[in-house]
Amino acid sequence: MSKISIRLQKLQDADRFFNILNNDRFLYFPTRPASAGAEKKWLRQSFIKRQKNIQWNYAVLYGSLVVGAVGITINTDRPHIGEIGYFVEEKYWGRGIATRAVKLVEREGFKKLKLTRLEILMEPANKASEKVAIKNNYQKEGKLKKIIKGRDGSMKDCWLYAKTL
């Protein structure tokens, strides 16, 4: 397996992210940018959010190729808590890339950002994401009702997994 790494996202990642996120088989990741330009706009906002310590987003690299993204959104009401989100391009599913990316961003969260709790939310049907949480030793804490908006616009239940220092 090529080396998995993360780096802060760049504007030139917009085309890759646009193509990856507009896959109809992405059932559990609600974001679907309308255009590469819309993705660039989102990335610009992401840079501002990083400066404000609200969101830290990284490109996931398989060797030198961008194959996905991983990030931490910091809870503004409880700034010691971060929520991890991630996606990987379909042709790289099942290779442990998301598991490794979560481990790498977790280190950033606990060491660099000084968070004491990290959470991962996933729809109950998203077994692959649940495996990522379990392989990284996150503990299932329960089900949150109608907590995130799905791609179809409806509110979805999610499992809450968490890890603390």
pLDDT number for residue 29: 72
Residue 22: CB atoms within 10 Å: 15
CB 103 within 8 A of CB 86: no
- The pTM assigned to this predicted structure is 0.93
User: How many residues appear in the chain?
Assistant: 165
pLDDT number for residue 1: 53
Distances (CA, A) of 51 to 57, 58, 111, 149: 11, 14, 18, 26
pLDDT number for residue 151: 75
Tell me the C-alpha distance between 40 and 69, whole Å. 14
- Chunk the chain into consecutive blocks of 10 residues (it has 165) and report each block's average pLDDT, rounded to whole numbers: 90 94 79 89 95 96 96 94 96 95 98 97 94 98 92 89 96
Q: Phi/psi of residue 13, each to 5°?
A: -80, -10
pLDDT number for residue 24: 82
Tokens coding 61: 């690299």
String of DSSP letters for 50-105: HHTTSEEEEEEEETTEEEEEEEEEE-SSSTTEEEEEEEE-GGGTTSSHHHHHHHHH
Domains of the chain: 4-164 (3.40.630.30)
Question: At 148, which amino acid appears?
Answer: I
Tokens coding 40: 């660039």
